[in-house]
Amino acid sequence: MKQLKPIMFVGTCSDAGKSVINTGVCRILKQDGYQPAPFKAQNMSLNSYATPDGKEIGRAQATQAEACGIDCHTDMNPVLLKPSGEMMSQVVLNGKPVGNRSAYEYFRKDDNAKLFDEAHAAFERLAGRYNPIVLEGAGSISELNLKKRDIVNMRMAKRTNADVYLVADIDRGGVFASVYGSIMLLDEDERQLIKGIIINKFRGDVRLFKEGRDIIEDLTGVPVVGVVPYFKDIYIEDEDSVVLDGKNNSAVNGLINIAVVKLQQMSNFTDFNALQFDKRVNLYYTTDHEQLKKADVIILPGSKSTIKDLTFLKEKGLTDTIKELYKNGTSVIGICGGYQMMGQMIEDPDQIEGSAKAIDGLGLLPMNTVITSEKTTEQKQFYFGDNKAVCHGYEIHMGQSSSTDAVTPLVKTTEGTDDGIFLNDRCWGTYMHGILDNKVVIDALLKPFSDETSTELSYSDFKEIEYNRLAEHLRQHINIEAIYNNATLD
């Protein structure tokens, strides 16, 4: 195959759809015989994933690697910021935490020169193994007050000499101003890198936008290489939990109602994606007492700040509600931070999460947890209960839990170690993210409420189909040949 220059998708704003377009183009490149890899110099997200070598990256880059058909690696997302409240973020560099910094400290110190060099070194390592590298920007490319310290947008595009494509969200309105302003606010050498514009989330007949694309091309001197229709019928994992604001938040009759407690610092909400496609289930996110009371199953999810989120639940009176509902027959399970909350006590002797050194848990599981500075990040294969099917998941947590009584472990890894506590069919917890991506686990969770077993595709097979559907959608509406022609090296 011909060698291609790096290809980069940047945005006029946050949530313009560049991550999804990046994912689709990664799959197109794979289909066309290339060996692409994704790259985002810096990501800010509580939704992370464990790499095969036991490190941590943003979930979006793990998804894009999956679309490329390759294992994810920290070089794909060398800098990950995990917000921890009070304007602080944990900084994860090359897959390992290096401390907490405020937004002010992060953006002011030495224009992020060291982080920029670290990120570029990761890009170079990646480029030595794959071609092409498909880069993704973050937010808007024209935040002038942040520009000289920004390591993920045009500064990185210049250093890697990438072909840049600007993605604009027409559904928000103001697309002409946002495209023109984004390009005109760039320096001349940055404008030279912009090879095309993609108008995303168009509603209606794209032929009606012909005059609009002509106007944009006349204003900017940059070709519009695609007008991509808005779609809801293709599923690609969401990057940011802000999408939960638009999801269902109430129970419905005739289905098994599963309520995920919507924690303020909820992490890895993708743990519940497979559930939302199960035809037996109505999945919703809530902190409303009445909606929790209508649930058949309550799930306490992961949290970046377990003690703070548990305090939040106590202040709202939700811990008492959850305990009472369990006594009356509602199933309650916990994953990662939610698992820690289900125990007797959580201790934080070194005040890693904040000022509180200890807090009582819900007391549903016989265990105590101590928050530790060392972070566990591992992919795992395991057996769920007595089932002999090999399941897949991953651990990302700070803290160690120990039982206060004889317990039945929930899972046993293929390495022979135990994880979690199985109290009964209606009460269990685990550190294993992704546990609900496995059919046998979902069937066990729903067993008290349904004799049916899953007839759906496995979640991994389902995602493969959706990557291909996305690729086909983009092929129809983006001039992929123009992207290839621009990127082909002589």
Let me know if 120 is a catalytic residue. Answer: no
The answer to whether 222 and 193 are in contact (CB under 8 A) is no
Amino acid identity for residue 129 in this structure: R
What DSSP element (H or E) covers 374? strand 367-384
- Total residues belonging to the chain: 490
Closest CA to 153 of 200, 180, 185, 105: 185
The answer to whether 455 and 443 are in contact (CB under 8 A) is no
CA distances (Å), origin 430, targets 301, 367, 376, 421: 10, 12, 14, 7
Amino acid identity for residue 264 in this structure: Q
Q: Which residues, 6 or more positions from 156, have their beta carbon under 8 angstroms from its beta carbon?
A: 8, 41, 116, 119, 120, 123, 135, 137, 162
Only one residue has tokens 């937004």, namely 103
The answer to whether 268 and 437 are in contact (CB under 8 A) is no
Distance CA 16, CA 19 (A): 8
Of these residues, 26, 72, 391, 433, which one is catalytic?
Answer: 433
Distance CA 408, CA 393 (A): 19
Of these residues, 26, 68, 72, 336, which one is catalytic?
Answer: 336
The tokens of 22 are what? 């990046």
Backbone dihedral region for residue 426 (phi beyond 0: left; psi -120 to 50: alpha; all else: beta): alpha
Q: What residues does 43 pair with on adjacent strands?
A: 80
Closest CA to 333 of 311, 309, 304, 302: 302
Let me know if 392 is a catalytic residue. Answer: no
Distance CA 148, CA 87 (A): 21
Closest CA to 89 of 58, 346, 98, 311: 98
Q: Could you give the residue ranges of the DSSP H alpha helices within 201-272?
A: 210-220
The tokens of 52 are what? 């095969």
Active site residue ranges: 336, 433
